[in-house]
């Protein structure tokens, strides 16, 4: 197995163009598990750890640009203010060791329906920056990035460079059901982001369909009927939960049944909207 070690982004893109079959490795918390269990035996690994810019983040032009290699630990420590939903999700990932190595870019690269970054990225309206040597940059909205179980819109000669996330303008929450509190793959998960300036609520479902997805009908319901100056109407909250549950299309597997997941998504949706709404009203009253 060849081990390619570019030191700049341009070298990394050139290596991927030259060897499209090379498997990128950032934190390695997915890749090394696959190698250890012989799930795949690539001809080459493309180690991105020497490309320093991938571990940087910045805020400009209405977006927080998070480099693909920024580990969860940095998201938690440094980005809890602008990206509270993503930071909450990051806190639930694996263990301290996994959060030190694992990255948001790696979560996107793996494109697992159970990946914890995806629901908050969807709810916030994130855009994934990918690039190839020959064709340049493509900006892919998160909602169009996930194509199937562990399949994304990334082409074989492309690498993920960063994810652009609008800094929060309202409360955001992430909630995850697991069989225990740490080191657990989500049975299902849900993220919510209030966008008060646009009078809009974003959603993201995890581990509840072949891909992470938004609950579009539920979002449309709130856009049409939510009174942003009043307490949350219990009937509206109930219908929101029902529409979120209806957006799920889960399977039975070792972690849970489809029926349980549908039920749990409805509960998480109601719960997170209630938390977010309480924060929203508190902030208005202050």
CB of 275 to ligand FAD, least distance (A): 21
Name 248's Cβ contacts closer than 8 Å, sequence gap at least 6: 188, 205, 208, 209, 261, 262, 265
Q: Which is nearer to ligand FAD, 20 or 81 (CB)?
A: 20
CB of 249 to ligand FAD, least distance (A): 20
Name 126's Cβ contacts closer than 8 Å, sequence gap at least 6: 141, 142, 163, 164, 165, 166
d(CA 283, CA 171): 10
Q: Which is nearer to ligand FAD, 94 or 266 (CB)?
A: 94
CB of 246 to ligand FAD, least distance (A): 24
User: In 161-174, which positions are buried (b, 16+ CB within 10 angstroms) versus exposed (e)?
Assistant: bbbbbbebebbbbb
Helix, strand, coil % over all residues of the chain, rounded to 5: 40, 25, 35
CB of 159 to ligand FAD, least distance (A): 4
CB of 110 to ligand FAD, least distance (A): 4
Q: Which is nearer to ligand FAD, 29 or 172 (CB)?
A: 29
Q: Which is nearer to ligand FAD, 93 or 194 (CB)?
A: 93
Alpha helices in the chain (DSSP H): 9-18, 31-36, 72-78, 84-91, 96-101, 104-110, 118-124, 142-145, 216-225, 234-247, 258-285
Q: Which is nearer to ligand FAD, 40 or 197 (CB)?
A: 40
Q: Which is nearer to ligand FAD, 52 or 223 (CB)?
A: 52
Residues that bind ligand FAD (CB under 6 A): 23-31, 33, 48, 68, 92-94, 98, 101-103, 105-107, 109-110, 115-116, 154, 159-160, 183, 185
CB of 91 to ligand FAD, least distance (A): 10
Provide the pairing of β-strand 127-132 with 136-141.
antiparallel
Q: What residues pair up with 46 in beta bridges, in sequence order?
A: 4, 24
């Amino acid at each position: 197995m060849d081990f390619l070690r570019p030191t700049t982004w341009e070298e990394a893109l050139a290596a991927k163009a030259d060897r499209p079959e090379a498997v990128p490795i950032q934190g390695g918390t997915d890749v090394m598990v696959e190698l250890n269990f012989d799930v795949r035996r690539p001809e080459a690994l493309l180690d991105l750890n020497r490309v320093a810019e991938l571990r940087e983040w910045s805020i400009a032009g209405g977006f927080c640009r998070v480099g693909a290699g920024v580990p969860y630990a940095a998201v938690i420590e440094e980005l809890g203010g602008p990206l509270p939903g993503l930071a909450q999700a990051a806190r639930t990932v694996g263990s301290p060791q996994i959060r030190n190595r694992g990255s948001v870019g790696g979560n996107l690269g793996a494109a697992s329906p159970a990946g914890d970054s995806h629901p908050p990225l969807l709810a916030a309206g994130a855009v994934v920056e990918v690039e190839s040597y020959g064709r340049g940059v493509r900006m892919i909205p998160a909602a169009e990035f996930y194509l199937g179980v562990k399949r994304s819109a990334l082409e074989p000669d492309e690498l993920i460079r960063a994810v652009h996330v609008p800094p929060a303008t309202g409360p955001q929450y992430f909630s995850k059901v697991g069989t225990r509190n740490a080191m657990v793959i989500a049975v299902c998960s849900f993220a919510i982001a209030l966008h008060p300036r646009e009078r809009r609520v974003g959603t993201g479902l995890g581990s509840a369909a072949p891909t992470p997805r938004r609950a579009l009908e539920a979002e449309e319901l709130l856009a049409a009927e939510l009174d942003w100056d009043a307490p949350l109407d219990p009937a509206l909250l109930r219908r929101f939960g029902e529409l979120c549950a209806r957006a799920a299309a889960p399977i039975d597997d070792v972690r849970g049944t489809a029926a349980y997941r549908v039920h749990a998504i409805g509960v998480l949706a109601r719960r997170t909207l209630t938390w977010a709404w309480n924060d929203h009203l508190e902030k208005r009253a202050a």
